[in-house]
Structure 1
Amino acid sequence: MKFKIVYDKPCRIRFRCGNYAIPKEYEESIRFYISTSSFVKEVDVTSINGGILVMYKKGFRDKVIELVKNLNINTLAPMTEKREYGIKEIDKEFKDSLLKISLKRVFFKAFVPNPIATALTIYNSAKYIKNGLKAFSECKLNVDVLDSASIVACFARKNFKTASTVMFLLSISGLLEKYTRERTKAVLTDSLVIKTDKVWLVTSGEDVEIPITELQVGDEIRIHTGNVIPIDGIVTDGEATVNEASITGESLPVMKVADTSVYVGTVIEEGSVVVKVRELSSNTKISKII
């Protein structure tokens, strides 16, 4: 797939493939395809502007670029079901991972001889001690320091079984933390994302209804009473009272006139405005909130 890199920071990179490069029905297919790689943490795919945001493990930037470069939509099957942003997949992955860790622990205690168990415990402790030393060298007293200190204390007392138990509990807590973070983000996305399919584009003649996927930055759209604002933009004409509770939590509506900003996810309670598109879905304020 052809693309250009529009954002490139450590462990976070955003690709822009073009406005018509990603059909909407392939968003979830592409997200699932990329997220199956072991070095990928999170993926966000937006058909509106052909954006692919990938958060990956340190040291795998080149592999992420190669993965997106080799992406071929023709080899993927569209997912036409109502999007749930991977909630079911997140739940399944958590249950599978928890079962795997638990069974591994049972096998370790029941069948591995003590000398080998001790050697494996010392080997597995390396990553915890390494993280603790790194944090301590940076003058940070955080959880990594406390974790490594507890493991070292067990080693000092030659209590390797306790050290193994501590690391088992740490792996469970890490799994729970990851699950909570990913599922919370998925639920937030599912509840806050805007599901508008079409908008009224203002032209020199009359307003024309177009798919939101064809909307470009700089276009002007007309939004009427009762409609959800589907983009971030600037009011260029008209006036309306807007409920911004989804953004600010304020229940009282706010008057919007020319040259004032409006945000995706807010609702026009009364009035009609023409809004110039400033940001599409992947860069909107509500996306940053999520």
Structure 2
Amino acid sequence: MNAPYYAPTGGHPAQTQLLTDRAMFTDAYAVIPRGTMRDIVTSFLPFWTGTRLWVLSRPLSGFAETFSQYIMEVQPGGGSDQPETDAGAEGVLFIVEGEATLTIEGESHTMTPGGYAFLPPATLWTLHNLGDAVLRFHWIRKAYEAVPGLPFPEPIVANEHDIAPTPMPGTDGKWATTRFVDPSDLRHDMHVTVVTFEPGAVIPFAETHVMEHGLYVLEGKAVYRLNQDWVEVEAGDYMWLRAFCPQACYAGGPGRFRYLLYKDVNRHMALRPAHAAQPMPARKVMTAA
């Protein structure tokens, strides 16, 4: 049974609707509620057909600087044979609606809701919607931070329904994380996970740490502590946190509260302009068979 992931469909509100909403942007965090994801703020990308996207976050100097996150919407027959134009970028895909045909280095994979793919830099991949329904998925991109002596990680294709969540110690399973990557694998410099809170579960302290976050609410609702504010969030909302923004959570129910979480991990803190001395991987060229 597929999880009821929320995905935007666009459109515009009626002229009779009040302007009041929950969108906010501060020095420490931003909340982008689902009601702001309208047709007027969609974008398009080179080499993609039948596709539009909502840009949820992008590197901003003085704010969150390590990643960007999109919600992609691909019509039947749409997709791309050249989806990533930056050879130094790694990516994670997470399917929320429809079916994707993902080809990595010539090997084809069918991805359905809950599907996850990690795409290392300089990887040849394509993605198409060969089905009859609209495909919607998250695409998280980061400039890979290579480390001499560590090889690139391999591609990963998985589905969260096939992975047992890892409970947080001392929570009786009320707070758990579905991990797609071994946390001890230092080749990876970012993790994308699914976090689940049962009704009544809490983060009982203000997490304050160097990792930047993108949190997209897949299901349910909760009250989230961001810096000094308590903010109500629900399925379809996005929270964007800079480093060291205090955060906590109370999931009041009645159902589960779940979100897709990005964080940067496993690297020294840059002491000079990011990636200034990083050699970029050579870009592979797609050739006809």
TM-score, normalising length: structure 2:
0.24
Say which structure is richer in helix: 1
TM-score, normalising length: structure 1:
0.24
